[in-house]
């Protein structure tokens, strides 16, 4: 199972088209994606979407070569999270914690922890990948940002490992490459795009900014598990 995650930063069709130039991908997780009234979806992919704004939500594309369902235990009240069961074996949990004033917590960490707690029974049941733009910086050194380590601790306690950090043998806050350039600034680099899994990791790729012509302030990651 190969998954590409990419926050495309303002949904444009040319960015959607670029995604599908990456061959052999079974599922795409796309924060800041428009709904299907505003983009063209390839015929061979099933499209799932949640969001409060038609041009900016969380989109997931899954190849129709795979059996796939949104399970009946999916909680529609959870902000910007999509659980999909694939081939009766995998749980793809796409996440993009998003603060909605008066509806959600004002903490990305707390929003994500709520999602994890809600689905923990099923995370344990399946080969799971929890992937997307976590909106959580891997180091708590940046002023005004809540300590991210409760998320990392939760993952470890439930048998999940960070694909990036496991595959590249790196530690949180000391990543060799960023996944995000704040406000498109070269010098303002952070790591906030994660994949955690309890499955065997086959391969991992973190793109460089220039490989995508800097069309987003994020870069894609590709995760392969079995």
* Mean pLDDT, rounded, for 207-220: 97
Number of domains forming the structure of the chain: 1
State the CATH number of the domain containing residue 24: 3.60.10.10
Over residues 102-138, the pLDDT tens digits come to: 889 989 999 999 999 999 999 999 999 999 999 998 7
Q: Residue 126 is part of which domain span?
A: 2-225
Over residues 135-175, the pLDDT tens digits come to: 998 765 544 455 678 999 999 999 999 999 999 999 999 99
25 token code pair = 């991908």
Contacts of 54 (CB under 8 A, 6+ apart): 34, 35, 37, 38
Three-state DSSP class for residue 217: coil
Q: Is 48 a residue whose pLDDT tops 70?
A: yes
Question: What's the pLDDT at 143?
Answer: 41
Residue-wise over 147-176: b if at least 16 C-beta within 10 A, else e?
ebbebbebbeeeebbbbbbebeebebeebe
Q: How far apart are CA 14 and CA 30, in angstroms?
A: 14
Q: Is 21 a residue whose pLDDT tops 50?
A: yes
Over residues 68-83, the pLDDT tens digits come to: 999 999 999 998 999 9
């Amino acid at each position: 199972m190969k998954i590409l995650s990419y926050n495309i930063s303002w949904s444009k069709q040319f960015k959607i088209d670029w995604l599908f130039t990456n061959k052999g991908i079974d599922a795409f997780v796309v924060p800041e994606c428009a709904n299907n009234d505003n983009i063209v979806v390839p015929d061979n992919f099933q499209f799932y979407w949640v969001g409060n704004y038609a041009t900016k939500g969380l989109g997931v594309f899954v190849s129709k070569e795979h059996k796939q369902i949104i399970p009946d235990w999916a909680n529609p009240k959870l902000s910007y999270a999509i659980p999909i069961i694939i081939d009766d074996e995998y749980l793809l949990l796409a996440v993009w914690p998003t603060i909605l004033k008066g509806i959600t917590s004002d903490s990305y960490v707390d929003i994500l922890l709520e999602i994890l707690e809600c689905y923990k029974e099923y995370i344990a049941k399946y080969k799971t990948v929890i992937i997307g733009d976590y909106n959580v910086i891997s180091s708590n050194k940046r002023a005004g940002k809540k300590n991210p380590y409760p998320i990392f601790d939760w993952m470890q306690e439930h048998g999940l490992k960070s694909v990036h950090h496991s595959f590249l043998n790196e530690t949180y806050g000391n990543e060799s490459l960023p996944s995000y350039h704040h406000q498109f600034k070269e010098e303002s680099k952070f790591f906030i795009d994660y994949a955690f899994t309890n499955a065997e990791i086959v391969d991992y790729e973190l793109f460089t900014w220039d490989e995508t012509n800097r069309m987003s302030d994020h870069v894609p990651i590709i995760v392969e598990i079995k």
